[in-house]
Amino acid sequence: MSMNDPIADMLTRIRNAVASRHRRVDVPVSKMKAEIARLLLESNFISGFKTVETEEGRKVLRLALKYAGTTPVIRQLQRVSTPGLRRYVGASEIPRVRNGLGVAILSTSQGLMTDRQARSARTGGELIALVW
Predicted TM-score (pTM) above 0.75? yes
Give me the domains of the chain, ranges plus CATH numbers. Answer: 6-131 (3.30.1490.10)
> Which of these, 130, 13, 20, 1, lies nearest to 62 by C-alpha position?
13
Q: What is the pLDDT of residues 61-96, one digit of tens each?
A: 999 999 999 999 999 999 999 999 999 999 999 999
- For 98-120, give one letter per residue: b (16+ CB within 10 A) or e: eeeebbbbbbeeeebbbbebbbe
What pLDDT score was predicted for residue 2?
65
